[in-house]
Structure 1
Amino acid sequence: MFRKPEYMVTRLLAAAGVAVNGPHSWDITVYDPSFYADVLGRGSLGLGESYMQGCWDSPQLDEFFYRVLRAGIDHQLPESIGFKTDVLLARLLNFQSRKKAYHNCHSHYDTGNDLFEAMLDKRMTYTCAFWENAATLDQAQEDKLDLTCRKLNLQPGMQVLDIGCGWGSFAKFAAEKYGVQVTGITISIEQAELARERCKGWPIEIRLADYRTLNEQYDAIVSLGMFEHVGYKNYRCYMQVVHRCLNEKGLFLLHTIGGNSAHAFTDRWLNKYIFPGAMIPTIQLIGKYIERLFVMEHWQNFSVDYDKTLMAWYSNIFKNYDQLKAKYDNTFFRMWKYYLLSCAGSFRARQSQLWQVVLSKNGVPGGYHIAKPA
């Protein structure tokens, strides 16, 4: 028997404890009935675009996504022709080639430094913070940067490479606190310009360069939140670049979002509006491409910290929206809100992970240990 889209979507949501026009903060209100057909016909892309258009809303979007994802509702929707086509193209083409990488990066990281300055901590660290002993975003990010430096066992005078350096937060912290010299690379023009300004006066070089061009030796290498943009077709190349640039006794720390299952293509809405060409690695994929190159010394998952980080970023955007709205309209704000809170829900539901992986070329003699705090 044919079921109307409204009936089918309502039943799916009910299985996750979400009601239409219900009393709970995670329930949704539907303003335009086209929402139901959009969700059934186009999955996550239809859900996100209908939200941007104001067809539906929820007082607590992060909790809505937590319940939907925890219940696995996203896996119960039929795969559209558009989704299958996107997956096929992702398998046939390299969406993270050198040329495409610049386009992908520009569409997100060059959105506007003012937006990121309003959203992030004082050091502008656009990666997951570490909240174990922190009460504020600023402290949680400093704790993450310090933990990263200690995992790399940084010592004064070391030459350090930061692949995907963002606005220079790690580079400046490591130079200030650990006395190292840092080379940071990014393919974002706006990031590079502001990073140079923020790191002025410190032994830091910020380059506008693709990781594939690197061929110098460093005592330690770090990559915070960049591997998600590499793509599995380039994983081996990426690891080979790190291997040739790391000295024999050096350590490499890979900080990346991770997934529970492998997909050649990321969420369709995120791919279209937030992170074009992104792909989330899995444990198996990372393991496959480090074989015969690295020894895995340490692997830590602090994905629940990303939930807190995303909520802090959203709080900052909400507080600073009055100063941003002259440049960013309501549709953009709804898009950005959807991005931050849907991702928070995904980490809360444990569908998304955050890993820090420490690798060496030959194994640390006597075993690896994280340096104690100074």
Structure 2
Amino acid sequence: MSTLPNQTWQPHSGRPWLENLRRIGGDGRQLLTELAAQAGVRLNGHRPWDIRVHDPAFYDRVLRAGSLGLGESYMDKQWDAPQLDETFNRLLSCGIEERLHGAAGIALKLRVAAEALRTRLVNRQSRERAFQVGEHHYDVGNDLYEAMLDPTMSYSCGYWAEADDLESAQRAKLDLICRKLELGPGDRLLDIGCGWGGLAEHAARHYGVQVVGLTVSREQAKLARERCAGLSVEIRLQDYRETDGRFDKIASVGMFEHVGRKNDADFFDAAARLLKNDGLFLLHTIGTRAANPVNDPWIDRYIFPNGELPNVERLTKALRRRFVLEDWHAFGPDYDRTLMAWWANLERAWPALEGAGYDERFQRMWKYYLHCSAGFFRSRTGHLWQLVLSHPGRSGSYRAPR
């Protein structure tokens, strides 16, 4: 185990580490070396989580563009780390982004401020933009997702409480959702963000319900319809704001991250309008403890355009007067394990995917995405929440299964 420098970061102590960095001047190598050391990461060290720099341009690139520069320089093979997930765990655990923004030059400060302002002023998840994330991310190729995911094609956190492998964890998650929703024969379930139809298939096959699934991805819709053929499942290529009807139960699994704070009222108003008065609504979402969440610039450009993670305050404000919170279940550490299982699948399948046209830069992009996401949850910067909600007029008590 390494030992961190004696001067640990204390946000209200005058930040002597920042004053030291300012005295360094324009030496990007020295500045980033000092910043990384605060997280117990060495530049050009030999431990699995240390960053090995292959191109000196890496230093100025990160100082100029922050997390965007860090990700792009990895894609361009300017640096590596044998255990990339643990590198990110350490960096995020010490609040590296705030430190980097504080120590960097005016260009990065302006970039960060502009992104925060854009999040506040622009509705990046409007109806007109609703299908952008489907085209950019979910339509990349079903062959990629079939190689990475388990047979249920679940692209959200598994539930590992009693599971030993990815498929078991995903089936346990699907069943947990169905039990929390108290699904039974004859129920009509709306699945907002149905993906490749994993929950729709499971609920129809094992609980005898009728399902309407919504997705903004053409490729997802195509495969979900094939997978659910012969079951009482309808898959719609449709935004949640365009949906009508009444449903006994609603689920939204891994989709709320695409809603955006400016659309919270529209989202929960739509759910309240579509849900019967005695129904239940399960919301499964990634969350963050950040006070003012802004989508990471690298994630926004290469993975999930227009995404925005909720925090507790945003959720509770949006739910007030619309729903009763029946249950709030957190199991963020399970996402770390899920992401690393996805990477193991992808790594095994890479020779075949490479032959199908996915190049080395795409592989490095996807590895960076999965590993930095694992570090996000391992560091407890990110969380996974399942909320069960009901109409204020619902009678009787509710006890959530685990």
TM over 0.5: yes
Matched AA of 1:42: A
Q: 1:169 aligns with which of 184, 198, 208?
A: 198
Matched AA of 1:349: S
Residue 283 (structure 2) pairs with residue 254 (structure 1): yes
Q: Percent identity?
A: 51
TM-score when scaled to structure 2? 0.91
Alignment of structure 1 residues 304-315 onto 2, 5 Å: 304-315=333-344
Residue 389 (structure 2) pairs with residue 359 (structure 1): yes
**Residue number in structure 1 paired with 2:213:** 184
Residue 320 (structure 2) pairs with residue 297 (structure 1): no
Residue 299 (structure 2) pairs with residue 276 (structure 1): no
Secondary structure (helix, strand or coil) at the match of 1:165 reads coil
C-alpha contact 1:21 1:27 (8 A) present in aligned 2: yes
Deviating 4+ runs (over 6 angstroms): none
**Residue number in structure 1 paired with 2:9:** none
Give the Cα–Cα distance (whole angstroms) in 1 for the partners of residues 110 and 133 of structure 2: 24
**Residue number in structure 1 paired with 2:140:** 111
**Residue number in structure 2 paired with 1:231:** 260
Give the Cα–Cα distance (whole angstroms) in 2 for the partners of residues 265 and 275 of structure 1: 12
C-alpha contact 2:278 2:395 (8 A) present in aligned 1: no
Deviations for 1:150-206, whole angstroms, at most 9, x for unmatched residues? Answer: 100101110000000000000000111111110001111110011000000000000
Give the Cα–Cα distance (whole angstroms) in 2 for the partners of residues 371 and 306 of structure 1: 20
Q: 1:212 aligns with which of 217, 229, 241?
A: 241
Secondary structure (helix, strand or coil) at the match of 1:255 reads strand
C-alpha contact 1:157 1:180 (8 A) present in aligned 2: yes
Q: Displacement of 1:364 after TM fit?
A: 5.0
Give the Cα–Cα distance (whole angstroms) in 2 for the partners of residues 297 and 103 of structure 1: 33
Give the Cα–Cα distance (whole angstroms) in 1 for the partners of residues 286 and 244 of structure 2: 26
Give the Cα–Cα distance (whole angstroms) in 2 for the partners of residues 170 and 214 of structure 1: 19
Q: Displacement of 1:264 after TM fit?
A: 5.2
Give the Cα–Cα distance (whole angstroms) in 1 for the partners of residues 183 and 400 of structure 2: 11
Q: 1:17 aligns with which of 28, 40, 51?
A: 40
Alignment of structure 1 residues 41-52 onto 2, 5 Å: 41-52=64-75
* Number of equivalent positions: 372
Secondary structure (helix, strand or coil) at the match of 1:215 reads coil
Q: 1:6 aligns with which of 16, 24, 29?
A: 29
Secondary structure (helix, strand or coil) at the match of 2:386 reads strand
Matched AA of 1:203: S
Secondary structure (helix, strand or coil) at the match of 2:100 reads coil
**Residue number in structure 1 paired with 2:361:** 331
* Range with bigger deviation, 193-202 or 264-273: 264-273
Matched AA of 1:97: S
Q: 1:92 aligns with which of 112, 116, 121?
A: 121
Give the Cα–Cα distance (whole angstroms) in 2 for the partners of residues 188 and 105 of structure 1: 4
Q: 1:120 aligns with which of 138, 149, 154?
A: 149
Residue 90 (structure 2) pairs with residue 60 (structure 1): no
Deviations for 1:292-340, whole angstroms, at most 9, x for unmatched residues? Answer: 1100000011000000000000000000000001211000000000000
Where does the alignment leave 5 or more consecutive residues of structure 1 unmatched? none
Secondary structure (helix, strand or coil) at the match of 1:68 reads helix
Give the Cα–Cα distance (whole angstroms) in 2 for the partners of residues 362 and 150 of structure 1: 21
Secondary structure (helix, strand or coil) at the match of 1:80 reads helix
Give the Cα–Cα distance (whole angstroms) in 1 for the partners of residues 187 and 132 of structure 2: 33
Q: 1:342 aligns with which of 372, 378, 398?
A: 372
* Range with bigger deviation, 126-135 or 19-28: 19-28
Secondary structure (helix, strand or coil) at the match of 2:230 reads coil
User: What RMSD, in angstroms, separates the aligned Cα atoms of the two structures?
Assistant: 1.2
TM-score when scaled to structure 1? 0.97
Matched AA of 2:373: C
* Range with bigger deviation, 261-270 or 184-193: 261-270
Q: Displacement of 1:371 after TM fit?
A: 5.1
* Range with bigger deviation, 87-96 or 127-136: 87-96
Give the Cα–Cα distance (whole angstroms) in 2 for the partners of residues 298 and 174 of structure 1: 21
* Range with bigger deviation, 191-200 or 34-43: 34-43
Q: 1:142 aligns with which of 171, 187, 192?
A: 171
Give the Cα–Cα distance (whole angstroms) in 1 for the partners of residues 349 and 64 of structure 2: 36
Give the Cα–Cα distance (whole angstroms) in 2 for the partners of residues 218 and 188 of structure 1: 23
C-alpha contact 2:191 2:200 (8 A) present in aligned 1: yes
